[in-house]
Structures are given as C-alpha cells and as structure tokens.
C-alpha cells in the first residue's frame, strides 16, 4: 500500500493523543494485556498489531486524510509539468527557416534541468523547506505534528513528479515536431571554441548510448559541417546534414532530463516511508508504549478501599439554562422508551445517535440536524441528552467535533445529563464530570444544562410551538 508507513505514523500519533484523556493505570493494563496475548500466540507486539488491537476497542471515527492534499498537490505539479514541458520544447525548437536551432542552447537547458533535479533531492535530504510559502497558501491550518518532518520529502516527490512529466511532455513534443516539420540544427557559441573541442564534449555526452543507438552518436564530419557563426557557416554548407542532429537531441533529453527524474522520483517515493518508520520508532508515545508492554502491572495490596472516593473533577464551568433548541438528540439510547414531557415537548422529531448505532447512522443524524438548524431564524441550538452516571466518552467527543464542523457556527450545543429518576436532578459529582468535559472541549458554544433548569423563555417558546402545531 503506498505511503503505508506514513499512514501508520499518523494513526499512531492520533491514538496517542486520544490516550492522553485516559488514566495511566488503564493504559498500562490495556497495553500489558496486549503484550501478553501476543506472547501467548508467538507474535511480535509491533505497532501494526497494536493499532489493530486498539481499533477493536473503540468505535471507528471518520478522520481527515492529510495525504489527500499532498496527492492533489502532486497532481497539480504533474499537470503543470506537462504544460510547461510542451511550451519549453516549442521554444527550444522554434525554427522559422532562417537561423538554425542552436544545440548549445539545448545543452544549457538540459544542464539546468539536471541542476534543478539535484537541488530538489538535496533539499529533501537536508530537511529544507523552500516551498513553505506555497504550502501556507495551498493548505489551510497547520499539519499534524507527526507529518511536519516529512514535508520536505513529500514536496520533493511532488516536484520530481512535475519534472518527470515535464521531460515526457518535452520528448513527445520533440518527436512530433520532427515528424511534422523540417528542423535544422546547428551549433555556435560566442566563445572561441573549435570544432574538435565541441566534438569531444558531444562525444562524452553521447557515451551512454554509443552502442545502443549509433545514429545518435555525432561524428566529426557532422560537427564540422553544422557550425554557424552569426550569418556565416564554418565548413561545408550542406543543408542535408542539418536534420541529422535530432537522434542526438532525443537521446540527450532522455538520458539527462527524463532518466535522472525517474531515478530521483523513485528515491523520493521511498524516502518518506523510511523517515516515517524512523519517526515512529522515536515517537514519545512509542517509548511509553514499549515501557507499558514490558512492565508488569502490580497490585500493591493496599487494604484501603477507595471505591467511594471521588476523583478531583473541580472545574470553573457553570451550568447554563436549558435553551429552546430546534434539534434534540438522544445519545446511546437514553430516555427509552420515551423522554419526560419537560424535555420532549416542542420537538417534532427526536433523533438518536451513539451506542449501537453505526458511524454512517451518526453521520446521517448530523446531516439531518444540519438541515433543521440551517433553517432556524435565529439562535440555533441542539440538545444532546445523555445519562449523568455514564462518563463522557471519546465517541461522544468525536460526534460533537464532526457536528461542530457541519452545523452553523453559531449553533449552541447543550449537553443534558439525566439522572436515573426522570424527575430527579443529577448528583453534583456526576454533573462535575460533564462540566469538566465541556471545559476540556475549549468551545464556548458547548454548555451543560439539566432538565430542571428550563428558563421561562424556553417554556413560552415550547408552548407557542405546541399551540401552533395544534
């Protein structure tokens, strides 16, 4: 699979960031159990197996693919290379029947392509980012931290792809012009260069294909007969010889423009995977994971029973009055078979998400709610009903994050934890964990309310809605 090492690194980094919300004791037991299972089955506990193990323990969540933008960028470079390759070759081979096409200009242009290919590879290995200004314009938002060290290699791969398409397009244009036009080549330079010196240069360049295509290897007679100096010729003025240079030009283009790009593109395709495996091996999360897998979990034997001790869930967040929302979502089957009238009044459709519902179902709920909220005249709000005694889960956090992306930016999301009794308020220690969850989301539009905190405005709004429906 292409870029499998990069995807493994990005998935591992995302999982480590998710694990930061879990307790160290839970992570230790989970990863130590995984290591013991691998040992019992004679398997190596490598990152791939660990990620497969973790995927089975959590609900799959759709995540953005950071490499999709790089694929688009590479495609853009390839298209730009095709267009500029055709234009460049048309410019190099422009012939109006007067002045001949100068081989020296073509050789200088080929040398420039070799230098650009070498510089692109050097910047990738050195870690330079001369394309940073382009990435800031094309990519909105900062890339994942794990992807930043790989950006020079990914940019080199895109640039070499564009360079290869440039060479292929130039070669195709050259062959087409050879067929449809009568091209006249010659060579000249302002410097005092003799035909023998120029022949030695061309013979050296043509050494790789001397035996492969003898017709593309220049001879002294051709070099002497096709030199021109301004409007004067040096040697036998034989127009029949002016077209014999096209095999040489073709092989120069293939050997020194296309082949280097093919080799360097292969290197650029392999280099990011090697670097990704190196970054994964020294990832701080990998070091901690290896420690947890290798270290046994210990039972201290402490007789103190801390089951009644509550964790420190102090927070500065406060409860908010229950808003008059347009959408009500029951999370993980809460309120079955029906919700109290104090909550369900005023809502035409009660949506359900989470729990045993599939990811596609949850995405459909988000889109249905988006249509309702988009039609709200003002102050769009959505209520998410949960169980107060169940701690907030990562699945709920992912659902709210995807909903925040799809719903209007001004939407107020009210989390409403319900107690076991429909008419009872949730205990303070249960509300504290939901307040802390809302505070960790760092989103001022996510608040916590209770069924008992219905504001007078909300009661009037629901009464008007019921009267309107009747």
**How does DSSP classify residue 383?**
E
Q: Are 350 and 380 in contact (CB under 8 A)?
A: no
Backbone Cα Rg of the chain = 35
pLDDT by residue (tens digit) across 320-353? 888 877 888 888 888 776 677 667 776 766 888 8
* Percentage of the chain lying above the pLDDT 70 cut: 81
Q: Are 266 and 163 in contact (CB under 8 A)?
A: no
The model's pTM? 0.58
Phi-psi region of 121 (alpha: psi -120 to 50; beta: other; left: phi over 0): alpha
CA distance 431 to 452: 13
pLDDT by residue (tens digit) across 448-463? 888 776 655 555 555 5
- On the question of pLDDT at 260 being above 60, the answer is yes
- On the question of pLDDT at 118 being above 90, the answer is yes
Residue 339, classed as helix, strand or coil, is coil
For domain 327-469, give the fold: Rossmann fold (3.40.50)
Residue 124, classed as helix, strand or coil, is helix
Q: How confident is the model at residue 259 (pLDDT cuts 50, 70, 90)?
A: very high
Q: Are 283 and 290 in contact (CB under 8 A)?
A: no
Q: What is the structure's pLDDT at 114?
A: 94
* pLDDT (average), residues 118-142: 77
- CATH 3.40.50 domain range(s) in the chain: 327-469
């Amino acid at each position: 699979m292409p870029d499998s090492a990069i995807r493994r690194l990005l998935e591992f980094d995302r999982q480590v960031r998710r694990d930061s919300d879990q307790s160290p004791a839970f992570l230790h037991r989970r990863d130590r159990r995984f290591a013991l299972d691998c040992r019992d089955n004679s398997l190596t506990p490598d990152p791939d197996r660990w990620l497969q193990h973790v995927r089975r323990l959590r609900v799959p969540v759709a995540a953005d693919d950071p490499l999709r933008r790089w694929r688009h960028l590479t495609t853009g470079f390839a298209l730009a290379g095709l267009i500029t390759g055709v234009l460049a070759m048309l410019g190099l081979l422009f012939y109006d029947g007067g002045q001949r096409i100068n081989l020296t200009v073509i050789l200088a242009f080929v040398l420039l392509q070799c230098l650009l290919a070498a510089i692109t590879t050097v910047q990738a290995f050195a870690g330079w980012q001369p394309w940073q200004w382009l990435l800031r314009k094309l990519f909105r938002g900062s890339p994942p931290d794990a992807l930043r060290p790989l950006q020079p290699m990914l940019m080199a791969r895109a640039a070499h792809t564009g360079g290869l398409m440039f060479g292929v397009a130039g070669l195709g244009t050259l062959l087409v012009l050879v067929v449809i036009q009568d091209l006249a080549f010659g060579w000249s330079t302002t410097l005092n260069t003799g035909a023998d010196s120029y022949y030695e240069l061309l013979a050296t360049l043509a050494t790789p294909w001397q035996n492969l295509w003898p017709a593309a290897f220049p001879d002294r007679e051709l070099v002497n007969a096709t030199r021109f100096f301004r409007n004067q010729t040096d040697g036998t003025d034989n127009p029949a010889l002016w077209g014999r240079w096209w095999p040489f030009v073709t092989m120069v283009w293939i050997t020194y423009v296309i082949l280097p790009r093919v080799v360097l593109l292969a290197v650029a395709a392999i280099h990011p995977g090697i670097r990704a495996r190196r970054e994964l091996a020294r990832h701080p999360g990998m070091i901690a994971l290896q420690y947890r897998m290798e270290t046994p979990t210990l039972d201290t034997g402490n007789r103190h029973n801390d089951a009644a001790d509550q964790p420190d869930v102090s927070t500065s967040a406060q409860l908010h009055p229950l808003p008059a929302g347009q959408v009500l979502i029951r999370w993980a089957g809460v309120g079955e078979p029906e919700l109290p009238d104090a909550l369900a009044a005023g809502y035409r459709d009660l949506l359900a998400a989470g729990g045993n519902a599939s990811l596609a179902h949850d995405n459909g709920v988000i889109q249905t709610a988006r249509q309702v909220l988009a039609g709200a005249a003002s102050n769009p709000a959505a209520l998410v009903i949960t169980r107060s005694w169940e701690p907030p889960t990562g699945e709920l956090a992912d659902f709210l994050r995807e909903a925040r992306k799809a719903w209007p930016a001004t939407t107020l999301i009210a989390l409403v934890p319900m107690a076991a009794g429909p008419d009872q308020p949730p205990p303070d220690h249960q509300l504290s964990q939901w307040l802390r969850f809302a505070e960790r989301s760092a989103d001022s539009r996510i608040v916590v309310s209770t069924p008992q905190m219905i504001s007078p405005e909300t009661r009037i709004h629901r009464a008007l809605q019921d009267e309107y429906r009747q």
